[in-house]
Every structure is written in C-alpha cells, then in structure tokens.
Homo-oligomer: A and B are copies of this chain.
Amino acid sequence: MRIGELAKRAGTTTRALRFYESQGLLAAQRTSNGYREYDDHDLRLVKEIQSLQAVGLSLEDTKPFVACLRAGHESGDSCPDSREVYRRKLAEVDACLERLQTVREFLLARLAFSDPCLVPEPKEFQCS
C-alpha cells in the first residue's frame, strides 16, 4: 500500500508517517516512480508507535520497541531496551504524581478561604 492508504488505515496523516521516517522509525520500499510502498508489518509498527505515544512516550522512546519488532519479536516490549524505557517512564510518572499531589493540596488550601462558589469548567490538559 502507498502512504495515503497506510495513513488512513492507521488513522493518522501522511505528514506524520514521513516524519517518522525522517526520525528513523519507519523505513519504506520505493516503487519505480519513487512512491513509498508499505505492507502490513509497517502498519503494525505505526500502531505500536501510536499506542506508546498514547501512554506518554516520546518518539525517541519508541525506538527500542520498533527495533524489537523489527528484530522479529512478537511484541515490541519483550526486549531489554524496551523494558528499560518502561521503567524510566514509570519513575517519571511516579515523580509527576507526587508533584501533582502537592500542587493539588496547595490549590485546595488556597481555595479553602471563602470560596464564592462558581461552577468550574473542565477543559483539556497537558500532562505526562
């Protein structure tokens, strides 16, 4: 399949896929006219990248997982480097949780003084 179809199947954009290639995550065959050609294995790679990004890993962090899949392993997280990324990320998450708890206590304490009771409006948030 070509880049447009891979993007559609993976639910992403051609720009993202070309960016992954520029970062060394994705390697495509080229047809005679210079078009990129992908197979189901590449689709699998893209989905792996997406699920790891959803957990908060950077593209750099997904490299060991991609390499693991390329090495023939069934899952991308069965290699030592991948598991090391998991451990590092877990430590980061724990640190963040602790910090956010502190921040939460602070905000609650500040709001405790005579709150005029307005309805809050939840929106999106940058974390992890």
Contacts and interface: CB of A to CB of B under 8 A. Distances in A.
A96 B106 contact: no
A84 B94 CA distance: 28
Interface size class of chain A, counting residues whose CB lies under 8 Å from the partner chain? 35 or more
Contacts of A120: 87-88, 90-91
A125 B56 CA distance: 11
Contact of A107 (B93, B110, B123, B126): B93
5 contacts: A86-B110, A97-B101, A99-B127, A99-B128, A100-B128
Contacts of A86: 107, 110-111
Interface in A65-123: 77, 80, 83-84, 86-97, 99-101, 103-104, 106-108, 110-111, 115-116, 118, 120-123
